[in-house]
Structure 1
Amino acid sequence: MLGGAVAVLATGQIAPVDAAKAVDPDVMLFLFGMFVVGEALVASGYLFTVGDRIFRLTKTPDQVVLAVLFGAGFLSALLMNDTLAIIGTPLVLGIAARSRISPKLLLLTLAVAITTGSLASPVGNPQNLLVAVNGGIPSPFVTFGTYLLVPTLISLLVAYLVLRIAYRGEFQPGRSVDRPADPVDSAGEPPAFDRHLALLAKSSIAIIVLLAGVNIAASAMGDGMAVPLPLIALAAALPVLLLSPRRFAILRTIDWPTLVFFTAMFVLMESVWQTGFFQQFVSAGGLTTVPALLATSVLLSQFISNVPFVALFLPMVLQAGGRPDQLMALAAGSTLAGNLTILGAASNVIIVQNAEKQGETLTFYEFARVGVPLTLLQMAVYWVFLGLL
């Protein structure tokens, strides 16, 4: 992405002034703040501990899979999905080793949970954030919840059924799982736990929930969004940045490559938009209906990735009217693309790469065997609900 941005600047395809204007400061500030919070949750050991506590409540493979699906799904709606992919991979591999459940099943469960769960909120993934910030939605939390929360919950249940069919041998009647006395990772070592940093990270989560609640209340009273999304993320990051002695270590280890990716993407996609190539699809019609947006988003996101796809198609959708159902179809389709193949989402790649470091993997076929039928079923769920609303 950076190479493409440098190329269009060097060849004069976009003026430096236009390139600077193309970078959206709201998106960049929001990502920075959320990355700080996510890194604090990981570095403190708190997120791993929460996952292990959830696992302690499970007694059967069905309960383990449902706990991963809905636990990771809920957290991915609150945090950026890539953060959960990083911390969740060693967690589910540890669960698989201790409970004698197939690691492939739990890796797939984690990947599907992260992708599907992130759909339910405007802060669950980067493409949702682009739609929320640049789509002119006055109340993103309310709009995403109204259009996408129920179909997301249904889609998680659909994922459970598809996984159960694909790995039916893992769900034998009467089978129970082992639970260790202490939380351990896949290497058998207890995770480091920093109480002070964990307290700050929990404070950050409380700030996110509180300010999101303020926005929802303000929307219910007809006042729109009271607290902008970038301000929510920066406010949440402040406890860590101001009060943690590990602030500089956290700043060094946040996801800087993704911030570079977004900066370059804004420049490159603005250059592509200025060519006028995609605007012709608006006049041709057809690509901005809900079914077309769902299908196009899922397919094209396999080739140009979902975030650049949304950056390209969002102006087109806005030009065609920018109705809430259109914007939610764009968010839903581009996110569901992550369930179709490994290459559909960066979080999938993170899970596979981290798993391979520990001797486990998912092949392209193993992922698609579950992902293709699951994505088709989930698309149908969102199509029906978006059509009803």
Structure 2
Amino acid sequence: VGLHTETRLLRKSLLATGVMIAGFVLGFPIPLAALVGAAILLISRRIEPESVFREIDLSLLVFFGGLFIVTGAIESVGLSGQIFTFARPLAERGIAALSLVAVVLSNLISNVPAVLLFRPYIPDFPQPAQAWLTLAMSTTLAGNLTLLGSVANLIVAEIAYRRNVNLSFTEYLKAGPIITLFSLALGILWLMWVF
């Protein structure tokens, strides 16, 4: 079996990655460096827009937008403050406790909205850098716990369904919790060692 390679795309991707890393190293704002890298790939593409648009799943896009609307509503009515007031004593106890709170929240509202709800409160933590890294690690890995934990999981389930593979919530639970608990334990141990 031969390996199919896209040499031209590989070169463009390496160039874009190199420009982006150079931007990071030279002190450019991270969003600007990332946008320049993405722009290189977008401007130099040879794919017809119509073929890309056909692959967009509108229902998932609307769902994802809805998550951000709900997150904004939770913030604007003050519910996020109340949730955080309740969870803060536990979350400030350290890496493992913050990870637990993040895992629960990530699986209630998905991992990206969970990070957005934490955002205003992390700077007030005793060690904000540690809290940000813990939040990044735990919300990313928490997305693997249940099918609803991450929008990426829903995208995979939707694509599988279109190909006649039913990836149900209970089917996902056969692997998700084991993988999540193992990877979270390793992540927590690693961050405890680093800090």
Same fold (TM over 0.5): yes
**1:130-279 to 2 correspondences below 5 Å:** 179=1, 199=8, 202-215=11-24, 217-218=25-26, 226-244=27-45, 246=47, 248-249=49-50, 257=61, 260=65, 264=69, 267-268=72-73, 270-273=75-78, 276-278=81-83
- Give the letter for the 1:227 counterpart: F
Aligned twin of 1:280: 85
Count residues with an aligned counterpart.
189
How many percent identity over aligned positions?
A: 28
Q: Is the 8 A contact 1:341 1:364 kept in 2?
A: yes
Question: Does the C-alpha gap of structure 1 residues 209 and 335 become closer, same or farther in structure 2, counting only changes over 3 Å?
Answer: same
Note the alpha carbon deviations across 1:332-358, whole angstroms, 9 max, x for none: 111111211111111111111111211
Q: 2:128 aligns with which of 323, 335, 348?
A: 323
Question: Does the C-alpha gap of structure 1 residues 266 and 279 become closer, same or farther in structure 2, counting only changes over 3 Å?
Answer: closer
Give 3-state SS (helix, strand or coil) of 2:130's partner.
helix
Aligned twin of 1:190: none
Per-residue deviation, 1:241: 4.4
Q: Which of these two proteins has the greater Rg computed from alpha carbons? A: 1
Give 3-state SS (helix, strand or coil) of 1:286's partner.
helix
Q: TM-score, normalised by structure 1?
A: 0.41
Per-residue deviation, 1:370: 1.7
Q: Is the 8 A contact 1:297 1:334 kept in 2?
A: yes
Give 3-state SS (helix, strand or coil) of 1:360's partner.
coil
Q: Cα RMSD (Å) of the superposition?
A: 3.4
Aligned twin of 1:188: none
Per-residue deviation, 1:330: 0.8
**d(CA) in 1 for partners of 2:17 and 2:95?**
31
**1:18-167 to 2 correspondences below 5 Å:** none
Per-residue deviation, 1:245: 6.3
Aligned twin of 1:342: 147
Per-residue deviation, 1:377: 1.7
**d(CA) in 1 for partners of 2:8 and 2:3?**
21
- Give the letter for the 2:38 counterpart: A
Aligned twin of 1:311: 116
Question: Does the C-alpha gap of structure 1 residues 272 and 338 become closer, same or farther in structure 2, counting only changes over 3 Å?
Answer: same
Note the alpha carbon deviations across 1:32-79, whole angstroms, 9 max, x for none: xxxxxxxxxxxxxxxxxxxxxxxxxxxxxxxxxxxxxxxxxxxxxxxx
Q: Is the 8 A contact 2:19 2:37 kept in 1?
A: no
Does residue 298 in structure 1 map to residue 99 in structure 2? no
Does residue 383 in structure 1 map to residue 188 in structure 2? yes
**d(CA) in 1 for partners of 2:77 and 2:101?**
18
- Give the letter for the 1:231 counterpart: L
Unpaired stretches in structure 2, ≥5 consecutive residues: none
Per-residue deviation, 1:273: 4.8
Q: 1:366 aligns with which of 171, 175, 192?
A: 171
Unpaired stretches in structure 1, ≥5 consecutive residues: 1-178, 184-192, 219-225
